[in-house]
């Protein structure tokens, strides 16, 4: 079973490919926490890097996830370029549950947070050139149930960026804000938010208090009516993995 978290499709594309190669099923992590996976022989966790670490909502999901210490547990993390401490944090969280992380690797893809900093993720599509070879290696190693942690970390920088106060700052600055007079109340953001943190009130989107700053809503809004880091999204900077359709990211 492959459990994934994805805002703009990078992690979903990786999870899909792995599910296909390993003949496994796929499920969104936010739904998977409600079920019991202790009978699964192999569990894969695929998610993006935020702030050189796990997305803020992930530790709680991992702690609630019902998986067995007998399972082969692996992770493949997507990132813009540096997964920082993701793998070490995940390994620690799993160890707290008596589970050993058997395998890890990362895949670099366009950085979907770039638009919050005035850059364009769609100008980073060249990163896809290296993905097939990386996915080939990962698939081969996972098929052989390899016990290898491929990791990278940036030492002090990762430690600093992963501090709770820095994460709170990231949520504060990058947290999406609805531009009410641009919002048409179409509800796409409500359905694309993997955290179910957006609802409509008086035909306008309203964000709640458990945003994990994935920016799914910012990238998916056809009216560019959601800002991040004080910047209204520009249409040409809104990103989605080229093989993933909007409907693939919508919650049912
Ligand atoms: C809030 C935020 C913080 C991010 N921090 C990092 C980071 O520290 N290092 C990195 O390489 N990429 C970072 N990224 C980029 C994402 O990890 C990357 O684009 C990922 O593949 C997105 O996956 P998704 O399309 O499945 O949501 C960040 C993205 C967001 C939204």
Q: Does the CB atom of residue 8 touch ligand 1 within 6 A?
A: yes
Which atom number of ligand 1 is nearest to the Cα of residue 107? Answer: 21
pLDDT tens digit string along 117-147? 999 999 999 999 999 999 999 999 999 999 9
pTM for the model stands at 0.97
pLDDT tens digit string along 54-83? 999 999 999 999 999 999 999 999 999 999
Q: Does the CB atom of residue 228 touch ligand 1 within 6 A?
A: no
Give CA–CA dist 198/39, Å, rounded.
34
| Domain range summary for the chain, segments of one domain joined by + | 2-161, 173-249
Tell me which residue has its CA closest to atom 4 in ligand 1: 50
Cα 6 to ligand 1 centre (Å): 10
Domain 173-249 in CATH 2.40.128.110? The answer is: no
pLDDT over 90 (residue 156): no
Q: Is 44 exposed, middle or buried (0-12, 13-18, 19+ CB in 10 A)?
A: buried
Which atom number of ligand 1 is nearest to the Cα of residue 161? Answer: 8
Give residue 153's pLDDT. Answer: 67
Q: Does the CB atom of residue 215 touch ligand 1 within 6 A?
A: yes
Tell me which residue has its CA closest to atom 29 in ligand 1: 113
Q: In what helix (H) or strand (E) does residue 101 lie, and over which residues does it extend?
A: strand 101-108
- CB-CB contact of 51 with 166 (8 Å): yes
Instruction: Indicate the fold that domain 2-161 takes in CATH.
Output: Rossmann fold (3.40.50)
């Amino acid at each position: 079973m492959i459990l994934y978290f994805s805002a703009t499709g990078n992690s979903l594309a990786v999870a899909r490919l792995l599910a296909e190669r390993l003949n496994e099923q796929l499920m969104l992590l936010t739904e998977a926490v409600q079920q019991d996976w202790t009978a699964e022989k192999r569990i894969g966790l695929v998610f993006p890097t935020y702030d050189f670490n796990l997305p803020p909502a992930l530790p709680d999901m991992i702690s609630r996830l019902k998986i067995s210490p007998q399972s082969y547990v692996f992770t493949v993390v997507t990132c813009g370029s540096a997964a920082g401490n993701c793998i070490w944090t995940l390994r620690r969280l799993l160890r707290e549950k008596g589970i050993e992380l058997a395998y890890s690797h990362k895949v670099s893809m366009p950085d979907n947070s770039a638009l919050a900093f005035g850059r364009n993720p769609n100008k980073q599509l060249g990163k896809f050139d290296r993905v097939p070879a990386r996915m080939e290696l990962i698939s081969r190693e996972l098929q052989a149930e390899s016990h290898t942690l491929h990791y990278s970390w940036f030492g002090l920088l990762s430690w600093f960026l992963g501090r709770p106060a820095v994460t709170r700052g990231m949520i504060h600055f990058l947290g999406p804000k609805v531009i009410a007079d641009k919002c048409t109340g179409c509800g796409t953001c409500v359905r694309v938010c993997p955290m179910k943190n957006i609802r409509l009130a008086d035909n306008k989107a309203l964000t709640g208090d458990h945003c994990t700053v994935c920016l799914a809503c910012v990238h998916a809004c056809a009216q560019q009516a959601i800002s991040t880091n004080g910047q209204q999204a520009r249409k040409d900077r809104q990103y989605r993995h080229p093989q993933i359709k909007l409907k693939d990211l919508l919650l049912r």
